[in-house]
Structures are given as C-alpha cells and as structure tokens.
Structure 1
Amino acid sequence: MKYLMLVLCLALTSCKTEKKPKPETIAEKQKNNQNEYGISPSAMWKDYTESNPRAENEQIPESDFFHNNREDANRLAELTLKGKKKASSGLYRLYKQYNVDLPSVGAIQIITDFDGKAKAIIKNVSVDTIPFNKISKEYAELDMGTDIEPLKKWKKAHWDFFENFLKESGEKPTEEMLIVCVRFEKVWPK
C-alpha cells in the first residue's frame, strides 16, 4: 500500500509540469521597471556591484528610510526611486545631540521603504548647513520632489517635524535653526 501511495503521489506531481519562467537579467528587470524591488538592501547592493565592478570591493553602505512613519517613508522612497526627490534635510542640532557625524560628499546609502525593502541607492553630491529661513525654493523642490509650492510645503513639513523632535528636550524651533542640506543623485537602479 505504501508503494501504491508513493507511485500515485509521483504520478500526480509529475503531471504538474508548469513552465518556470527563466530568471531575468538585471537589465531586463530595469527595462520592465521591476523596481517594486521589494528586496533586501544586501540583494540590491549585490545587483549594483554586479553591474558596477568598481564597487564590488566596497562594503555594503548604510540603509535607512526617510521620515519617521510608514506613509511618509514609503512616499519619499518612491519619489527617490522615480528621481523626483534629490535632497534631504536634517536638523543640525540633532546631529550634535546624538553625536552623529554629518553626512559627507560621496557617501552612498541604500534608501528603503518603512519595512526595510530596498528601493534605491543614492550618492551625496553636496552637504551644506543653512539656516531654516535661508532655504531656497530650488532646494525645497529637490527635497520635496514637487514644483508645486515647494518652499511653502518644505517649511510647513520640516517645521512640524523638527518641532516634534525639539519638544522632547523642551526646545522650540526657530527661523535661524541650522539645517543640514544634503543633495544626492540616484545611482541605482539606473
């Protein structure tokens, strides 16, 4: 009876000969716009280094998402992936408070969604420290990923965001607070 069951199982499974799709090359994935990536940062880094042999000996860079909640993190990751978001802003005071180095020109980072799925690899092209009230419309457009009232939207979003952080230490935002302004370019996927 055991053998009959085994033969029956083998017969049933052998009838299900589904044609497996052949794996796509990296170029095909990009061509088919398959960067709903949904892959780990290490898998994205592997794809990147396979296409960029000069980077193959580099260590995998830091990966992180923008903002502090799922909706905004995922929206900003998509804007970065689409090449619309080309800058990020941080409160200088927080870098000092947490004793964290400022971003550096040439640094590479993997941008993820809120769940840690890799979306894009970026490279910093400039880092400046600018007072809040001196942020330009052009910079705000790069950071917000929109040309519709970018400065107004940037000021509102960042004021509220920084105000929440500063509340913890009993401080309030000011028009003169220093902002770390990082401009970047998306280097992967092409």
Structure 2
Amino acid sequence: MKQLIIILFLVVIGCRNETKSDEEIDETVYDMWGDFTQVHPEFKKDELPESWYFHDNKEDANRLADLVMKGKKKASSGLYLWYKEANADLPKAGTKSIITNFDGTAQAIIKITKVDTIPFNQISKEYAAMDMGTNIEPLKKWKKAHWDFFANTMKQGGNEPTEKILVVCERFETIWPKKQ
C-alpha cells in the first residue's frame, strides 16, 4: 500500500512525470538552462532544475505547456495527502522547474512564487483561472477536472475524498519561455 501511495504521489504532484536519469533528460532541457544562465549568470552555479510535464497524457501535457508559454497557466495543484503520505516537503517559493512537452522537449522555465494549502471547497475563482489558464467558468472547470482526478487516485489508495480535502496550490511565473 505504501508503494502505491508513493507511486501515486510521483504521478500526481502537479501531474508531473517521474524523475529522469541524466541519460533520459532531453538535450533541450540542458540547452534551455544554459541559455537562461547565460543571460542570468547569477544562477550558473545552481543545479539543473527538475524537468517535468503537466498531466498524464500527451494531449493535456502539450496543451498545458502551451498555456504556460503563453502566460495563461500560472498555477498548479496537488493534494496535501500525497505529500504527507510520501513524507515529502511541500514546494517552496523560489524553486525553479523546466516545463517540457509530453515528449520531454523543454518549453519554459517557471519559478514558484507562492504556495498555499487550501481546502478543496475554498478554492477561489481567481486561483482556478490561474491553474486552468482560462477565464471561462474557471472554478467549475477546475472543480470538475481536479475532483475527478483527486477522487480517482485517492480511491486507488484506499481513501475517500471529501469537499474539505487539502489542496497544495502552487502559484508560479514563467521566467524563461521557449524561443520561437
């Protein structure tokens, strides 16, 4: 059961893919970080940030990466329960990540600006719009998409979702878009 929880955690924290070895990381990730540190030499000594894609399928991963590059998607959500069960630290403001498409090609560098833990039933329309990348019924869309995803994975781990489940809400800014 504990292994299932850890696997689910790796899959669902922001719908990120699993950690890759150096051989599995696409060359574009290194290139993007190199370009970024060339312009921002104060980060040259920093380690290469984690690279990952949103969601668990190609269509959504690529669509969400595109929304990040367009500056429309500015947030990501995961369940507090997954962090707790995996004994993992919550994300921290200032952390950088390289967002890729589903195939691992670097698309943008983001930096977390704020992290909150909020009950599911208290997510705001403004936050939902930032996470969904749209202003058209963002809260309704956020609740549907996230409830379905959270409930399914919680049930697989033997937990029952409630409207009061805690959501880790990461706000971020795109600090380096892919060069077009």
Distance 1:129-1:100 versus aligned 2 partners, 3 A rule: same
**2:54 corresponds to which of 46, 60, 66:** 66
Secondary structure at the counterpart of residue 80 of structure 1: helix
Counterpart in 1 of 2:92? 104
Q: What are the superposed Cα offsets for residues 70-102 of structure 1, whole Å, 9 maximum, x if unpaired?
A: 111111111001100000000110111222211
Moved more, 119-128 or 90-99: 90-99
CA RMSD of aligned residues (A): 1.3
Secondary structure at the counterpart of residue 110 of structure 2: strand
* Structure 1 runs (4+) greater than 2 angstroms displaced: none
| Structure label with greater radius of gyration | 1
Secondary structure at the counterpart of residue 135 of structure 2: coil
- Given the alignment of the two structures, is residue 153 of structure 1 paired with residue 141 of structure 2, yes or no? yes
How far apart are 1:174 and its partner, in Å? 0.9
Secondary structure at the counterpart of residue 159 of structure 1: helix
**1:47 corresponds to which of 26, 35, 44:** 35
Matches within 5 A, 1:1-190: 40-189=28-177
How far apart are 1:172 and its partner, in Å? 2.3
How far apart are 1:54 and its partner, in Å? 1.1
* Unmatched runs of 5 consecutive residues or more in structure 1: 1-37
Aligned mates of 2:163, 2:140 — CA distance in 1: 14
Identical-residue share of aligned pairs (%): 62
Length-normalised TM-score, structure 1: 0.77
Aligned mates of 1:66, 1:95 — CA distance in 2: 17
* Unmatched runs of 5 consecutive residues or more in structure 2: 1-25
How far apart are 1:39 and its partner, in Å? 5.7
Could you tell me which amino acid in structure 1 is paired with residue 173 of structure 2? E
Aligned mates of 2:155, 2:93 — CA distance in 1: 31
Aligned mates of 1:160, 1:40 — CA distance in 2: 33
Number of corresponding residues: 153
Could you tell me which amino acid in structure 2 is paired with residue 106 of structure 1? G
Aligned mates of 1:103, 1:119 — CA distance in 2: 21
Aligned mates of 1:64, 1:88 — CA distance in 2: 13
How far apart are 1:40 and its partner, in Å? 2.0
Could you tell me which amino acid in structure 2 is paired with residue 63 of structure 1? S
